[in-house]
Amino acid sequence: MQFGWLTMPNWLLALLAREWSGLAVGALVALGGWLLEGWIGIGLCGLGALLAVGNLWHLVHLTHVRRRCPPPGRMIDLGGYKVHMLAEGVAGPHHPVVMFGGGHAPGLAMGHLHASLKNLTRSILIDRPGTGWSDTGPFPRTTAREAEEMVIALEHSGESGPFLLVGYSFGGLLAANIARRHPEKVARLLLLDPTPLETIVFGPRLGAIRTMLRSAWGSALLRLIGIHANFEAIATKRNASHGQAASAFERQLGEALQTIQTVDASAGAQFANYSIYHELLGPHVGTCGWETVVYDGDLGDMDVWLVAPPSAAEVMDSSEVGTAAAQEQARMINFFARSRERYLATTSRPTRIYAPEGSTHQFVYEEVSFVRDVLERAIKPLV
């Protein structure tokens, strides 16, 4: 394939996602060294021993993390693996709300909004498999699979809807998929600058996706040998514009972010990130589009709110559009801004809400008072 080593078979991901797999790799390397003679054999035996010791340290570290940070919510069995759900508050006259953050994020990525919503209604955060306290789950990780998993988790936990489904960025794609598959579960769909998957098919090729894949793969392998680095976080800090957004993220989440970073210690979590980010590769989107894209009219007469910045100029910055000529940059920015508006065509009852002037894709963390106000209006049933 065009992306070479970036495409890994699912059986290999499932095998390596087992946290003890480093021991098996170390044993195989050491066995190979034992069968050979000379310095090569000795070197391989030593390398195998180092890999095994590193994996043992990784397993000890995971045990320590799990004891230090037990799950604050319930572990819901999905049939051979479990997901973590934090549900607080009483719905009363309002719709209960389920929120999904950007990227392949754990539930606590929306913790700053959950903290206030739980005083008004039933607020539910779910760790997608491979995030937070949830198990990694089966491979491949896909939006379509996780949409079904989230519904099963809600059903098995006894949480009753219909819900206000809230999805930010890539979480918007997940929320829209749940709404398409299970409209009976959804009272209203609130999309916060959602990611339209078709932009990956028809838009410009972005190096960021390949960087995300490399970062997830590299972090996963290092964790198996006891080195708990997160290349994606490092890259974000080095990028000036992304680093600024990360500061807003840190400021709003506070202690919850420290918990997220502490709990995110497994190799399986990074292999899960690799798997679901793989869905964003252009050639692969063409094979999963029918299952993943929410098309015009798919949501019937569902009440859908789209909240996003008002200006196309706020969608992307110069670091994301790269060194293209000014005319091409303008076309790229316009394309990404307008493609998100396609979600309005998924229903006959759309509502478009504009984030404050000058806001960016990160308005969920930069314009928190505005977002809370929108959420408070959205949890109220139609009169």
Tens-place pLDDT, residues 58-70: 999 999 999 999 9
* Helix (H) / strand (E) containing 306: strand 303-308
Q: Find all residues with CB under 8 Å of 30, minimum gap 6, and list them.
A: 44, 45, 47, 48, 49, 52
What percent of the chain lies above the pLDDT cut of 90?
67
pLDDT at 28 over 90: yes
State the average pLDDT over residues 22-44. 92
Q: What is the CA radius of gyration of the chain?
A: 22
pLDDT at 153 over 80: yes
Q: CA-to-CA distance for 275 and 280, rounded, in angstroms?
A: 10
Q: Find all residues with CB under 8 Å of 81, minimum gap 6, and list them.
A: 129, 135, 136, 137, 138
**CB distance 265 to 222 below 8 Å:** no
State the average pLDDT over residues 228-236. 63
Whether 6 is covered by a domain: the verdict is no
> Which of 124, 178, 122 is CA-nearest to residue 150?
178
Query: H-type helices in 182-225, by residue range?
Result: 198-202, 207-224
Q: How far is CA 265 from CA 66, 100, 126, 348, in A?
A: 10, 21, 18, 44
Structural domain for 189, as ranges = 74-378
Q: How many CA atoms lie within 13 A of 43 on its CB side?
A: 3
State the average pLDDT over residues 315-319. 50
State the average pLDDT over residues 72-96. 96
Whether 131 is covered by a domain: the verdict is yes
Whether 58 is covered by a domain: the verdict is no
Whether 345 is covered by a domain: the verdict is yes
Please give the pLDDT value at position 324.
56
Please give the pLDDT value at position 210.
80
Whether 59 is covered by a domain: the verdict is no
Whether 89 is covered by a domain: the verdict is yes
Q: How confident is the model at residue 337 (pLDDT cuts 50, 70, 90)?
A: confident
Q: Find all residues with CB under 8 Å of 105, minimum gap 6, and list them.
A: 128, 131, 171
Lowest mean pLDDT among 149-158, 185-194, 203-212, 252-261: 203-212
**CB distance 166 to 200 below 8 Å:** no
**Quick one: DSSP state of residue 348?**
S
Whether 60 is covered by a domain: the verdict is no
pLDDT at 39 over 60: yes
Each residue of 268-284: pLDDT tens digit? 999 999 999 888 876 67
Peptide bond into 194 cis (omega under 30): no
Q: How far is CA 264 from CA 34, 139, 335, in A?
A: 36, 19, 34
Q: CA-to-CA distance for 177 and 279, rounded, in angstroms?
A: 14
Please give the pLDDT value at position 199.
76
Q: Is the pTM of this model over 0.85?
A: yes
**Quick one: DSSP state of residue 94?**
S
Location of structure tokens 């029918």: 290
The distance in angstroms from the start CA to the end CA of the chain is: 53
pLDDT at 30 over 60: yes
Q: CA-to-CA distance for 274 and 162, rounded, in angstroms?
A: 32
Q: How many CA atoms lie within 13 A of 297 on its CB side?
A: 0
Please give the pLDDT value at position 320.
52
Q: Pick 34 or 283 by higher pLDDT.
A: 34
Q: How confident is the model at residue 235 (pLDDT cuts 50, 70, 90)?
A: low
Which CATH number covers residue 296?
3.40.50.1820
Whether 349 is covered by a domain: the verdict is yes
Location of structure tokens 């000058």: 358
pLDDT at 134 over 70: yes
Structural domain count of the chain? 1
**CB distance 95 to 123 below 8 Å:** no
